[in-house]
Structure 1
Amino acid sequence: MRAGTNLVDLGKYNANVVIHALRCLGACSQRDIAAATGLSAQSVSAIVRGLQRQGLLSEVGTEITGRGRPRVLLNIVGSARIAVGVHVDPSLITVVALDLGGHVTGAASSRRVNPDDPHTTMARVAEMVRQLVREQSLDEQRLAGTCLAIPGPLDPTNGAPDGPAWLPGWTAVPLGEVLGDHLGMHVPVVKDTLAAVIGENWVRGGAFLDSTMVFVYVGTGTGMGLSINGEPVRGFSGNSGEVGTMMTALGSRTPGEHTGMDNDPAFIVERAHTLGLQPEPLPPRTDFDAVERRLARLCAAAVDGDRRADELLEGAALRMAELVMMAVELLDADTVVFGGPYWRLLEPWYAPASRRAVRRPSARGPHPVSILSSAMGDNVGAVGAAAVVHDNLYVPRPPSSPN
């Protein structure tokens, strides 16, 4: 729980402390908020009145705790602010609207990603955002902002892609500036794995707001989002969570292979082809739809009893489990969350292997580690991007701390 301060010059910070308390506790009384935050009853009362005037809080009921007047219960008005999140990966554009309570109120997607022309793609994104804003009937007061999430790494000076493996034609293009010009607003750009861990905390709320979490993004490649005691780990340049070098250093579990990228979906499909499990011509790695179809067929075959398909997927799961265990050990994490476009296909192998790995004896002590599927559903990157907007506006951080 974040503590407040009774200094009057930190009003915005204290208002966010109250919002944070409600996100942790759910509907509760002013007395509960004061007890949880360390703010005085007078400060909480003044803050609550201000937030009610802004439409951010409302009275939702009463609670009888004994003699005297019943306590009035307060809660956040989710519909008071809506953030728009955009995720662009090599094969898909996703746009979502996320309310202050962490609920998706609208979504749209398109496969029209031009790998060689980011400007055309950003124009398409802008139209999708405008359409969603119209459908949600969002005015200037309710629209909290828009954020763009993309695969890393990113240039820390302007948020431009810095040599992305799957979108090389987008290198050094300031996507936030391009999209912002179309929309007439400032659009921050964040790495999609960072967005994912921020989104997971925002959507789950409650005790997860203070968790130390490893979010494993299972997409075209693998990445991680990290948070310590609820605070996202951005890193020096905003590029925390890159794991390619770690995977390579760990080596490969596949005989004759040395890349260490056994869990890359395109690699799994290529291995299935090499082993004769899928003898038809191999699709190029950049044909993402074909790779996904082939991976889905491989998973279905393993479920139906194909031993070699199952062994191939088990090998990928073991590599993922080693990576997860290293991250858990490094952060002393209590929660691991998996998500991303390929997670549902690979969950039957990845989840059990990771659960076995984190149960092994460890110097971190006996505390349990939860292995969970994302609460954000399939649109992890876009929901996370929208949550970044809410996070920047409503998570209590001292004024001296960068957002």
Structure 2
Amino acid sequence: MSSPTRLILSEAQRRVVQHLRIHGPTARVHLAQTLGINPATLTRITQQLVEDIPTNSETGRGRPTIPVAIAGDGGWSVGATVHPGWLELVAIDFRGEILFEDTLPFTQNDPRVFARTVEARLRTLVAQRSFMRGRFLGLGVAVAGYAIDGDRNRRAVVDWIAPWDNIPLREVLGDVLGMPVWIENDAAAAALAEFYRPEIIRQHRSILVFFLGHGVGGGLIAERDLFSGEFHNAGEVGRLFPGSEPRPSGVDLLETLRRAGADVASLADLHGLLDPYRAVFDTWIARAAKQLTAATHSGVAWLDPGAVVISGALPQSVLDRLAAQVTEHCNRLFSGLRAPTPQIYASRLGSKAVVLGAALAPLHDVLESRR
């Protein structure tokens, strides 16, 4: 596998890439005018970062106006996360588009075994794919757990990955892998993935994301950057819903179905139960939507997001219905306000949002001024 390369962009380069990511392909002359960059300088500083988009359109006299877009081969990164019983990987190019997705059985809970498994699998995949020999930016790892003592690399984790608890994950994983590693909370990673969806990033600067998986988490994008908070725990909405009480989480839904007599082992089994247990789903969705509405109302009051996204590992029809009911409740709560209110979306990424957001972490870091 190619050696990881720390890609550092100048302020002008970041502005160009961000503009193209938000606004899509743009004629080079218009890009230079909009950003106030000399056309010759623009061409020089964007080598390997942008590419011409072929077009058959006629522009009249003179040379045709050829739009440019982000070049996929400007770099690539990988995201990884572990689930109960399996490991998930995804690689993306510099545009943020998926190069490959991969899953494999994994029952170990040792982070070092996780790192060695990821390294071995990546070596195999890279050997099979010639397009992955370009600039490798690093690995993002999404972890189910909140930061301890303000250190984003030390996490209080869920029980089934207990050996990951309160250890310097970036150093432990990086030492085994020999590459830059980004550690992120799973729900915060999902928020990053949701924000990079074209229909979101091209309309909104700030979003609030709820991720409903085994637990319930959240993530915040503020002014196009992932907001982590003073102690790197912004979006820990699970605190609003104690595990000892009914909550809008996947585990809670599983337990609700089991009490109703369903034989269900994991979230992957939910699709087959939608029809036979329709009434159970209806009741659970109605209750979860009210809980998410309360959290949304508070989040909107404090954060003023442009959008709220209901994301997670639940069936698409469940996410759709949750978003619709939260929208209905919020319309009543916001009625009479003259201020703009956020649009509420149901995610189309499903559980893949977590690993995709992990892969986006190295790329997002390159595009931000934070160092």
Give the TM-score taking structure 1 as reference length. Answer: 0.79
The CA deviation string for residues 165-208 of structure 1, in whole angstroms up to 9 with x for no partner, is 54333212333323222321121211122222222233427753
How far does the alpha carbon of each residue in 1:314-333 deviate from its partner, in whole angstroms, 9 at most, with x for none?
A: 22232223223322332112
How far apart are 1:18 and its partner, in Å? 0.9
Q: Tell me if structure 1 keeps the 8 A contact 2:213–2:351.
A: no
> 1:66-77 to 2 correspondence within 5 Å?
68-77=62-71
Aligned to 1:286: none
- Residues of 2 paired with 1:192 and 1:21: CA distance? 27
Displacement of 1:65: 5.7
Q: Which 5+ residue runs of structure 2 have no aligned equivalent?
A: 1-7
1:173 and 2:167 matched: yes
Aligned mates of 2:132, 2:122 — CA distance in 1: 13
1:58–1:74 contact (8 Å) kept in structure 2: yes
Query: Are 2:221 and 1:223 aligned?
Result: no
Does structure 1 residue 392 correspond to structure 2 residue 365? yes
Partner in structure 1 of residue 296 of structure 2? 324
Instruction: Give the number of the structure whose residues are more often strand, by fraction.
Output: 2
Which shifted more, 236-245 or 64-73? 64-73
Of the three residues 82, 85, 88, the one matched with 1:88 is 82
Q: How big is the shift at 1:11?
A: 7.1
Q: Kindly tell me the number of residue pairs found equivalent between the two proteins.
A: 361
Matches of residues 318-397 of structure 1 in structure 2 within 5 Å?
Answer: 318-344=290-316, 346-362=318-334, 365-395=338-368, 397=369
| 1:232 is aligned to 2:206 | no
1:3-402 residue pairs with structure 2 within 5 A?
12-37=10-35, 39-40=36-37, 42=38, 44-52=39-47, 55-61=48-54, 68-115=62-109, 117-137=110-130, 141-155=134-148, 156-157=150-151, 159-204=153-198, 207-208=201-202, 210-248=204-242, 259-274=244-259, 277-278=260-261, 290-292=265-267, 295-303=270-278, 307-344=279-316, 346-362=318-334, 365-395=338-368, 397=369, 402=370
Secondary structure at the counterpart of residue 324 of structure 2: helix
Computed over aligned residues only, the root mean square deviation of the Cα atoms, in angstroms, reads 2.9
Secondary structure at 1:347 match in 2: helix
Aligned AA (1:389): P
Secondary structure at the counterpart of residue 197 of structure 1: helix
Distance 2:200 2:353 in 1: 19
Alpha-carbon deviation of 1:104?
A: 0.6
1:59 is displaced (CA, Å) by 2.2
Q: Which runs of 5+ in 1 are unaligned?
A: 1-9, 249-257, 284-289
